[in-house]
Chain A
Amino acid sequence: MNWLSQNLHIVWSLLLDHLWLSIVPIVLALVISIPLGWLAARYPRARTALLTGTGLLYAIPSLALFIMIPAIVGLSARSPWVAIIGLTLYGCALMVRGAADAFGSVSRETMLAADALGHSPWARFWAVELPLSGPVLVSSLRVMAVSTVSLVTIGAVIGISSLGTLFTDGFQRGIDASIITGIVLTVVVAFAIDAVVLLLGRLAMPWQAAVRA
């Protein structure tokens, strides 16, 4: 506790870094995965390519990926964008399949009804397919969000500040309190983001609760 009270401002600033390094890739991966997942669900030919392609991303070791990114996109190795790009790729690897399943879960009858009513393809996507894919989309998003929060810590190894820095520092300097604080706060951030996703999902999908009741 003594260590924590003395290093409160450092811990706070690492916590903020960690939040920003988590939220940006989570949002980016979600936004990228929705159209890719939709394509995979609607076009069987695109499906194999998209799911295999994004699935393979996950096979790349994270440390290797973080080291390759600066070379490929021309960023400085310590730029937080290295972590953001890498985590977005990992997020997509998890989320494209989830989004494909989500759009696949919308019943054909409902889409047929939407067409028969006179939705344009664009209107059908926004008014029918996206909301109805919501429940499955939220389940995958929760997994992806928690996984991203935990992966952020790896950036510390290559010098990108996050709560992971508390592990690397703690190990090097033999401060257990630092390691424990890092672990506990990472778990807290993961829970907090998960709770926010869940809450936003409930707010966006009031019919779910109404029908369950």
Chain B
Amino acid sequence: MIEFAAVRKEYPDGTVAVEDFSLVVPSHAVVVLVGSSGCGKTTLLRMVNRMVDPTSGTVSIDGDDVRAMDKVQLRRSIGYVLQAGGLLPHRTVADNVATVPVLEGANRREARRAALGLLERVGLDPALGDRYPLQLSGGQQQRVGVARALAADPNILLMDEPFGAVDPIVRDQLQEEMRTLQRELGKTILFVTHDIDEAFALGDEVLVLRKGAEIAQRGTPAEILAHPADEFVSRFVGAGTARRTLSVREVDGRRIVVDGDDRPTGVLAE
């Protein structure tokens, strides 16, 4: 469980990234923070592993204030996935995945062997273990990023727009696989994105944020779609747009779902 209690972040130049934010991320749940760039969502994420310390308020994990913990140990105990994987370009894929176990003093050869297993787990050929990150495609790098975050078997995963740099087809695939992986692993995941569809695809719970990390609405994807709290959320989720206004038509005895422009998007399951 991650708890934000009345956190605020003000930078020395007077910029307020986070006004006053409180949230409980329940264990084993995926909570997605979604908002435009500069809304403070990444700042919130970084407060969990103390890449950023709040000006006031506390962040705690399972009831323990993170500020009382050693930064380096705290970070090793939390999986972090960054955009474009954030891989170390001078380390092979297997060494990248084995980074945290090796920092923790694990035997290098065993850590590498475990890394190859993790590569398989995220859908990569273990033969890629000897390659360097730049020899991989964007989607492959992203998978390595996920494998690396899982290497020390952390309870918590922080994901900062992890699928932002890959093309839409690969992104859909990665999101699908992440759901499968999460069903098996049941990690506590705090996920940041600017893409509302990604938020709906992955979140058990979604928070739509305004500037200063003010919560515009919080709920399940269905709740937010059904009852957008205000104009801002409506616009953000695209409520009322053709894409979100679906209806059903009968075609050759099957029921087709079409959007507001009458373009078919799927078939109703019978």
**Interchain CA distance A31-B38 in the complex, whole Å:** 42
- Asked if B23 is at the interface (CB within 8 A of a chain A CB), the reply is no
| Chain B nearest Cβ from A90, distance in angstroms | 31
B5-13, B79-87, B207-215 - the one binding chain A: B79-87
Q: Return the contact of B75 from the options A109, A117, A207 (Cβ within 8 A).
A: A117
B58 an interface residue at 8 Å Cβ cutoff? no
Does A120 sit at the interface, judged by CB under 8 A? yes
Q: Which B residues are CB-close (under 8 A) to A114? A: 88
Chain A nearest CB from B44 CB (Å) reads 15
Which listed residue, A112, A116, A117, touches B103 by the CB 8 Å rule? A117
CA distance A128 to B77 in the complex (A): 20
In which size bucket is the chain A interface? 20 to 34
Question: In the bound complex, what is the Cα–Cα distance between A112 and B160 (angstroms)?
Answer: 12
The number of residue pairs between A and B whose CB atoms lie closer than 8 Å in the complex comes to 61
B181 in the interface (beta carbon within 8 A): no
Tell me how far the C-beta of B66 lies from the nearest C-beta in chain A, rounded to whole angstroms.
Answer: 13
Residue contact A210 to B75, C-beta cutoff 8 Å? no
- The A interface, classified by DSSP as helix, strand, loop or mixed, is helix
> Do the beta carbons of A123 and B89 come within 8 Å of each other?
no
B interface footprint on A180-213 (CB within 8 Å = 1, 0 otherwise): 0000000000000000000000000101001100
Q: Mark A25-68, 1 if CB is under 8 A from B, else 0.
A: 00000000000000000000000000000000000000000000
Instruction: Let me know if B76 and A131 touch, CB within 8 A.
Output: no
Instruction: Tally B residues with Cβ within 8 Å of A.
Output: 26
Does A115 belong to the interface (CB within 8 Å)?
A: yes
Q: How far is the CB of B33 from chain A (nearest CB, A)?
A: 17
The one of B49, B90, B103 in contact with A207, judged by C-beta atoms closer than 8 angstroms, is B90
The answer to the question of B73 belonging to the interface, with a C-beta cut-off of 8 Å to chain A, is: yes
Q: Is the CB of B88 within 8 A of A110?
A: yes
Assess the B103–A210 pair: CB atoms within 8 A. Answer: no
Does B68 sit within 8 A of A, measured CB to CB? no
Q: Does A132 contact B (CB under 8 A)?
A: yes
State the A residues within 8 Å of B (CB). 109-110, 112-120, 123, 128, 131-132, 134, 205, 207, 210-211
The 7 residue pairs across chains A and B that have the minimum distance between CB atoms: A113-B86, A118-B76, A118-B75, A116-B80, A207-B90, A211-B134, A207-B132
For the complex with contacts A116-B86, A210-B135, 9 further pairs of A-B residues with Cβ separation under 8 Å are A113-B82, A113-B86, A116-B75, A116-B80, A117-B103, A117-B148, A128-B88, A211-B89, A211-B132
